[in-house]
Structure 1
Amino acid sequence: MKIASIALATSLALGTSALLVSQAEAKTIETRWADVEVETVADGLVRPWGIAFLPEGRMLVTEMEGRLRIIEADGTLGDPIRGVPEVIVRNQGGLLDVALAPDFETSNRIYISWSEPEASGSNITSTAVGHAVLGDGELVGFERIFSQYPKVEGGRHYGGRMVFSQDGRYLFVGLGDRGHQMMESQDLDSHTGTLIRLYANGDVPQDNPFVGREGALPEIWSYGHRNIQGIDIQPSTGRVWAVEHGPQGGDELNLPEPGKNYGWPLATHGEAYGGGQMSETVGFYVEGTELPVWHWTPSIAVAGMTFYDGDAFPEWQGNVLAAGLRGEVIARLEIDGDRVIHEERMDMDYRIREIRQGPDGYLYLLTDERENAKVLRMRPAN
Structure 2
Amino acid sequence: MKHLLSALGLSLTFFACASDYDKASSLNITAKSVDFADGFTIPWGIAQLPDGNLLVTERQGSLYFVDKATRKKTEVKGVPEVFAKSQGGLLDIKLHPNYRKNGWIYITYSSPEGKEKGGHTALMRAKLDRQSLSLSDQTVLYKGEGNTDNGRHFGSRIAFDNEGFVYFSIGDRGNRDVLPQDLTLDGGKVYRLHEDGKVPADNPFVNVKDAKPAIYSYGHRNPQGLVKNALTGKIWSHEHGPRGGDEVNVIEKGANYGWPVVSYGVNYSGTSFTDLTEKEGMTNPVLYWDPSIAPSGMIHVTSDRYPQLKGKFLLGSMKFSFLSALEVDGDKVVKQYKVLQGIGRVRSLHQGADGYIYVGIDGYGIKRLEP
**Partner amino acid, structure 2, of 1:364:** Y
- 1:292 aligned to 2:288? no
> Residues of 2 paired with 1:139 and 1:29: CA distance?
37
Pairs within 5 Å for 1:62-101:
62-101=57-96
**Corresponding position of 1:368:** 362
Asked whether the equivalents of residues 50 and 353 of structure 2 are also in contact (C-alpha less than 8 Å), the reply is no
> Residues of 1 paired with 2:64 and 2:120: CA distance?
23
Pairs within 5 Å for 1:253-292:
253-278=248-273, 281-292=274-285
> Residues of 2 paired with 1:330 and 1:151: CA distance?
33
> Residues of 1 paired with 2:328 and 2:87: CA distance?
31
| 1:100 positional shift | 1.0
Match of 1:301 among 256, 276, 294: 294
Asked whether the equivalents of residues 183 and 265 of structure 1 are also in contact (C-alpha less than 8 Å), the reply is no
**Corresponding position of 1:40:** 35
> Residues of 2 paired with 1:364 and 1:287: CA distance?
40
Asked whether the equivalents of residues 225 and 244 of structure 1 are also in contact (C-alpha less than 8 Å), the reply is yes
**Corresponding position of 1:125:** 119
Pairs within 5 Å for 1:1-382:
25-31=6-12, 32=27, 34-118=29-113, 123-135=117-129, 136=131, 137-167=133-163, 169-278=164-273, 281-346=274-339, 347-369=341-363, 373-380=364-371
> Residues of 2 paired with 1:123 and 1:160: CA distance?
20
RMSD, matched Cα: 1.7
| 1:156 positional shift | 0.6
Asked whether the equivalents of residues 88 and 123 of structure 1 are also in contact (C-alpha less than 8 Å), the reply is no
SS of match in other structure, 2:237: strand
**Corresponding position of 1:18:** none
Asked whether the equivalents of residues 69 and 77 of structure 1 are also in contact (C-alpha less than 8 Å), the reply is no
> Residues of 2 paired with 1:209 and 1:282: CA distance?
29
**Corresponding position of 1:6:** none
| 1:66 positional shift | 0.9
Asked whether the equivalents of residues 92 and 155 of structure 1 are also in contact (C-alpha less than 8 Å), the reply is yes
> Residues of 1 paired with 2:47 and 2:315: CA distance?
17
Worse-matched range after superposition: 223-232 or 135-144: 135-144
SS of match in other structure, 2:74: coil
Asked whether the equivalents of residues 87 and 94 of structure 1 are also in contact (C-alpha less than 8 Å), the reply is yes
| 1:324 positional shift | 0.9
**Corresponding position of 1:11:** none
* CA 1:24–1:249: 2 relative to 1, 3 Å: closer
SS of match in other structure, 1:312: coil
> Residues of 1 paired with 2:327 and 2:114: CA distance?
45
Q: Structure 1: 5+ residue runs without aligned partners?
A: 1-21
Worse-matched range after superposition: 312-321 or 214-223: 312-321
> Residues of 2 paired with 1:61 and 1:289: CA distance?
36
> Residues of 2 paired with 1:261 and 1:319: CA distance?
26
**Partner amino acid, structure 2, of 1:153:** D
* CA 1:112–1:23: 2 relative to 1, 3 Å: closer
**Partner amino acid, structure 1, of 2:291:** P
**Corresponding position of 2:16:** none
* CA 1:198–1:342: 2 relative to 1, 3 Å: same
> Residues of 2 paired with 1:51 and 1:75: CA distance?
17
Worse-matched range after superposition: 179-188 or 244-253: 179-188
Using structure 1 for the length normalisation, give the TM-score.
Answer: 0.88
The Cα offsets for residues 78-131 of structure 1, whole Å up to 9 and x where unpaired, read as: 3211111111110000000111123321222211111011459x7421001111
SS of match in other structure, 1:106: helix
The Cα offsets for residues 276-326 of structure 1, whole Å up to 9 and x where unpaired, read as: 212xx2421122111100011111100111111110122322211111111
Number of corresponding residues? 352
| 1:181 positional shift | 4.1
| 1:37 positional shift | 2.1
Structure with the higher helix share, 1 or 2: 1
Asked whether the equivalents of residues 320 and 332 of structure 1 are also in contact (C-alpha less than 8 Å), the reply is yes
* CA 1:182–1:379: 2 relative to 1, 3 Å: farther
